[in-house]
Every structure is written in structure tokens, then in C-alpha cells.
Amino acid sequence: MEYQGKELFRGVGIPTPRGVFVRSPDDVAAFIAENPGAWVLKSQVLMGGRGKAGGIKFASSPDEGRELARELIGKVLRNEQNPDGEEVKSLLVEEKVAIASEAYVSITIDRAAKKPVVIVTAQGGMDVEEVAAHDPDAISKYWIDAAIGFEPFIARRLAFAAKLPTGFQRAFPSILGGLYAMFMEYGANLVEINPLVLSEDGRVIASDAKVDLDDNGLYKHPELKAWKNEAPADEDQAAALATGLGISNYAKLDGNIGIIANGAGLGMGTMDAVRNAGGAAANFLDIGGGAQAELVKKSYNLVVGDPKVKAMFINIFGGITRGDQVAKGIVEALAGDDVRKVPLVVRLTGTNEKEGREILAGAGMNPVETMDEGARRAVELARG
């Protein structure tokens, strides 16, 4: 959440607004009593758009602070993207910074260039994609040579190129240096400060901060795993893990043809084939390479667990994956009484194709020859 992200930012020397993390209205009142002035009460939730949902309030006295905190804590914030809402359990009480100017700065990975790219614009507080679309010249970029890393001249060049107000100049190298250090240390996909605020009293402060971590790199920072766990797990990812699949090997979609394939490319290709046949996939499911019968069986159960699935297409091109294992898994899955059965089309080719077909034949199943044919049959079956 915001307060955790800001801790990381402070850890690399990037100033954030003065503030305190609290869980009770009395703590808010006590803090404002000790620190008179204008304060912002920010609900600590994971959903976006909390401001518009009423999750941010301003207070300038202990009583006002206590009153508003009572309103916020326990409140369920809702918006279009989060119809179920999220309950506010804690607040970040932050100084109300008098803003002279706002900028935007982020570092992300440019896949095509295979380099980290730093993005700066003087149009802070805005959606950077919108700025890029409407005023591309307002955005300055620098691609970092990973062998050299961040050097202060990069910050100078970007600050001058983006025409940041002079007040930003002095602090900019250390802020960008801190941001790069964080990007590298946590193996982030994205680190972003928006807005980076120049206050009327001349301070440069990260007013809002965002970090997107690479799941593959999380093992290097076990302390951040706990953080990730606080996030409401993506239901698809949770289902994939529970089934024994990789985290991104399963995704629920809108159609009614269940799909199981081996390999992400073949999985997507199978979805496409179903669409080409006039149907729509109910899911993407990649059993990965070398799957055993047990995993095939569990995957089958996962897919038919979605009530909108009207037919299933299992499409296997055996490389590492062996046809006999897949066939065994299918037969076992169908043998269970506790599982919903839907019309099934199997395509099975490649490694141990012959053995697999024999197992299926033994259970009265007759695989199709090609992906296109299988997709057509599945669409027909779903139409009933």
C-alpha cells in the first residue's frame, strides 16, 4: 500500500511528505494535537481512485481529524472498477503540501531496447499515457546503459530537456538516483513518482509513489512477499496455483468452450482456432511441458468448474509432454463421479501419440486429427 511504497522511497533517500501511519481516530487526533497545521487523511487501500470514492479528507484540528478518521475507518470504498469495494482499516496522515509545481518521473523496462527507460515530463499529476498521446514533445526519455547504470548527468539532461522549473534542478539527480537504485534493488518492472512536487517552500517531494515488482525476482526480497500477499489475489492466479499450474497458466475468459493445451503458444493458437470456427474460448489453460496424468485431471476439473463451459477441447502436441500421460489424465478425470461432464473433443499428436490413442480408445474416445477440426467439433458440440 501507499505507506509501504513510501517507506521504500525514503529508504533510498527520496523525500516524501511528513506523515504518520495510524489505525485509530484517537491516533489521528493525538498526532494533529502534537503537530498543528493542515493535514491530509488518506485511506490505505489497494484499489485506485480512492479520492473520487471519498477516501481522502483534509483536517486542520485534532477534533476535525478524529471526526473525519471515524468516518473513514471502517468505511467501504467502492467504484466502478471495484464494485465489491474495499474496507478502510488504516490511514496515512500526511502534511498538506503547498504545491508550486508538479512533475512526473518513472523508470520502466523497454522491451524492444532491452534497457531501463527513464521518463520525465513537467506535466505532473496527469496520466502519462495521455500526455504521450496528446503532447508527445512534453515527454523526455533516456535509455540507461545497464553496464553504466544511473549517473547524475542523466538527471540533468532530462530535467533540462523536459524544461522542469528551476526549483527541481538541484534535487533531481539525487531523486532520480534513488529511484534507479530502487528499480534495481527490487528488480521492479516500474517505479513511478506522480506527482513529484515542488513545494512553495522549495522542497522537492514524492507526493504519490508506485512500485510494480517482477514476480520472478521476488525471491530476492522475501520481506516483500508479505506485501504482495496483502493484495487481493487475482482469482485466476489463485486457481492456477491451487491446481498446480504456473501463476499465469490459467485465465478465465468470456466464451463457452473450455480449453486445455500444452504450451502458451498452442493455448493461444487453440483459442484462436475456436474463434475462427465461430466460437469463443471460456478460458486459457496451458498445462506446461511434461505434464503428468494427475495435472491433466486437475486441469480438467478446473475448467469444467466454470458453469458457462458447454464443451471442452483438449489440444496436445506432444514434445516433452507424453500423449499417454495426457490420455491417462483425461480418462481418470472422466471416471470421477464428482465431476461435471461436458462434451469433449481431444486432439493428441506428437510424443507417445500411439499409446495415448490406445488409452483413449479403451475409454471409447476417438481423437480428431487437427487443431482446426477439433475447434470446429467443439463449437458444434457447444451449440448442442
Partner 1 sequence: MAIYLDKNSKVLVQGITGREGLFHTQRMIAYGTQIVGGVTPGKGGTRIDTGNPVFDTVKDCVDATGATHTIIFVPPPYAADALFEAYDAGISLAVCITEGIPAHDMLKVVATTHGMRIIGPNCPGLVSPGKSLVGIMPGHVFRPGRIGLISRSGTLTYEIVDLLSKAGLGQSTCVGIGGDPIIGTTFVDCLRSFATDSETDAVVVCGEIGGSDEEDAAAFIAEHLPNKPVVAFIGGRSAPSGKRLGHAGAIISGNTGTPQSKVKAFEAAGVPVAERPSQIPMLVKERLAVPA
Q: Which residues are catalytic?
A: 104, 192
Applying CB under 8 A, among 320, 335, 361, 363 the residue interacting with partner 1 is: 320
* CB closer to partner 1 out of 145 and 200: 145
Query: What is the footprint of partner 1 within residues 341-360 (CB under 8 A)?
Result: 349-351
C-alpha cell at 364: 471409447
Q: Rule CB under 8 A: is residue 276 a binding residue for partner 1?
A: yes
Stretch that binds partner 1, among 190-198, 246-254, 325-333, 356-364 (CB under 8 A): 246-254
Q: Rule CB under 8 A: is residue 219 a binding residue for partner 1?
A: yes
Cα–Cα distance for residue pair 258/290, rounded to 1 Å? 21
Cα–Cα distance for residue pair 214/194, rounded to 1 Å? 20
Q: Which residue carries 531501463 as its cell? A: 116
Report cis status (omega within 30 of 0) of the bond before 195.
Answer: yes
C-alpha cell at 302: 478446473
- Tell the smallest beta-carbon distance from residue 240 to partner 1 (Å): 10
Cα–Cα distance for residue pair 63/25, rounded to 1 Å? 9
C-alpha cell at 366: 476417438
The residues, any chain, with a CB within 8 Å of residue 236's CB and separated by 6 or more, are: 250, 251, 252
Q: Rule CB under 8 A: is residue 278 a binding residue for partner 1?
A: no
Residue among 119, 83, 114 nearest 192 (CA) = 119
- Tell the smallest beta-carbon distance from residue 220 to partner 1 (Å): 7
DSSP class of residue 234 equals P
Applying CB under 8 A, among 160, 232, 278, 336 the residue interacting with partner 1 is: 160
Alpha carbon separation from 372 to 327, 345, 349, 354, 376 (Å, rounded):
20, 12, 14, 20, 6
Applying CB under 8 A, among 20, 184, 339, 365 the residue interacting with partner 1 is: 184
Applying CB under 8 A, among 99, 117, 224, 253 the residue interacting with partner 1 is: 253
* Interface positions with partner 1 (CB under 8 A): 109, 111-112, 114-116, 129, 145-148, 151-153, 156-157, 160, 166, 169, 184, 187, 189, 214, 216-217, 219-220, 236, 246, 248-249, 251, 253-254, 261-269, 271-276, 280-281, 284, 286, 289, 317-321, 349-351, 370-372
